[in-house]
Amino acid sequence: MALIEVEDVRRTFTVRTRAGRLKRVKREVRAVDGLSFTVDAGECVGYIGPNGAGKSTTIKMLTGILVPTAGRLRVAGVDPSRERVSLARRIGVVFGQRTTLWWDLPLRDSYELARRIYRVPDGRYRANLDRCVELLDLGDLLDTPVRQLSLGQRMRGDLAAALLHDPQVLYLDEPTIGLDVVSKAKVREFLREVNTLQRTTVLLTTHDLTDIEQLCGRVMVIDHGRVVYDGGLDGLHAAGDSERTLVVDLAEARPPIDVPGARVVRVEGPRQWLAFPAQDSAAPLLAAVAARYPLVDLSVREPAIEDVIARMYAEVAIG
């Protein structure tokens, strides 16, 4: 069942720019330009794209903050901008860059306020709070004012606040930004649990592609307000023409070796790096290298997803 429906949605902004000393001209910016997709209940979807691609504008329309210029939007059966109050009970939102908690209040009081605003029944509130406190390790922090929390602690606090009312959809905008490795791991583990056990639908915007690799079965890449890729991470590699690398340690330093189906991209003493198409099997290549040259060691490196996406953006920009 589709929980999020976006059908040919557009959103333009009129901006005024200087033209000469006194004159100002109006210009139309198409932030979202004919966007269509659906997200089914229980999915965890990465929503990624370069700066200015239209991600925040999409999320703002899906939360009812912005009204689309044209097109149709539904979240959990509700038109976001027309029914913001009933939508608020169905969604949770976390912005990595700013908090939705009350700065001067202890976490516990912020949660209590959220309980009243969303009219969460007592039993459900208790159960959800206990679960979040345990999974996010918030026990010792509940009585600390939000302004005294570290960034990682605050983010964990924000995640709990977004989930106390059992939303069907959770929007996450850069949830791991600025966090250290340990905090990132904790946040990701929690999100995985929320998505797989609670079956909460997650739409995740991030520039940290490890978030996507570890959490999302599906990725949507957006550029210039349109979806340019929608599918699994594997397919993203194929779409971006990505390459894997075979790293070989030869018995001695040599000029670049010659093996069909691969090309040497780097040589450092006896070590050589051979690039080959990511979708090809590495086995024949390994066999060919081993048959021709005395080897000490070899390993295969997967392409960095950042490189794949950078390549894809470059193709879109050229095309």
Ligand X SMILES: Nc1ncnc2c1ncn2[C@@H]1O[C@H](COP(=O)(O)OP(=O)(O)OP(=O)(O)O)[C@@H](O)[C@H]1O
For ligand X, the binding residues (CB under 6 A) are 13, 15, 29, 31, 49, 51-57
By C-beta, is 200 or 205 nearer to ligand X?
205
By C-beta, is 50 or 270 nearer to ligand X?
50
CB of 113 vs ligand X, minimal distance in Å: 28
Q: Which residues contact 124 (CB under 8 A, 6 or more apart)?
A: 166
Q: How far is CA 104 from CA 98, 108, 146, 152, 309, in A?
A: 15, 12, 6, 17, 41
CB of 66 vs ligand X, minimal distance in Å: 8
Question: What residues does 93 pair with on adjacent strands?
Answer: 171
Per the CB < 8 A criterion, the answer to whether 39 and 4 are in contact is yes
By C-beta, is 51 or 281 nearer to ligand X?
51
- Put the strands of the sheet holding 226-231 in their side by side order: 91-95, 169-173, 201-205, 44-48, 218-223, 226-231
By C-beta, is 13 or 103 nearer to ligand X?
13
Q: Is the torsion defined by CA of 215, 218, 221, 225 positive or negative?
A: negative
CB of 128 vs ligand X, minimal distance in Å: 30
CB of 215 vs ligand X, minimal distance in Å: 18
Helix axes 151-163, 181-196, angle to 10 degrees: 10
Q: Tell me how far apart the alpha carbons of residues 122 and 118 are, in angstroms, rounded to a whole number.
A: 11
CB of 291 vs ligand X, minimal distance in Å: 48
Q: How many CA atoms lie within 13 A of 29 on its CB side?
A: 12
By C-beta, is 97 or 281 nearer to ligand X?
97
CB of 304 vs ligand X, minimal distance in Å: 19
CB of 184 vs ligand X, minimal distance in Å: 19
SS3 content of the chain, % helix, strand, coil (to 5): 35, 35, 30
Per the CB < 8 A criterion, the answer to whether 199 and 191 are in contact is no
By C-beta, is 28 or 297 nearer to ligand X?
28
Q: Tell me how far apart the alpha carbons of residues 57 and 69 are, in angstroms, rounded to a whole number.
A: 12
CB of 227 vs ligand X, minimal distance in Å: 13
Tokens of 288: 């060919």
By C-beta, is 29 or 238 nearer to ligand X?
29
By C-beta, is 223 or 243 nearer to ligand X?
223
- Say which amino acid occupies 237: H
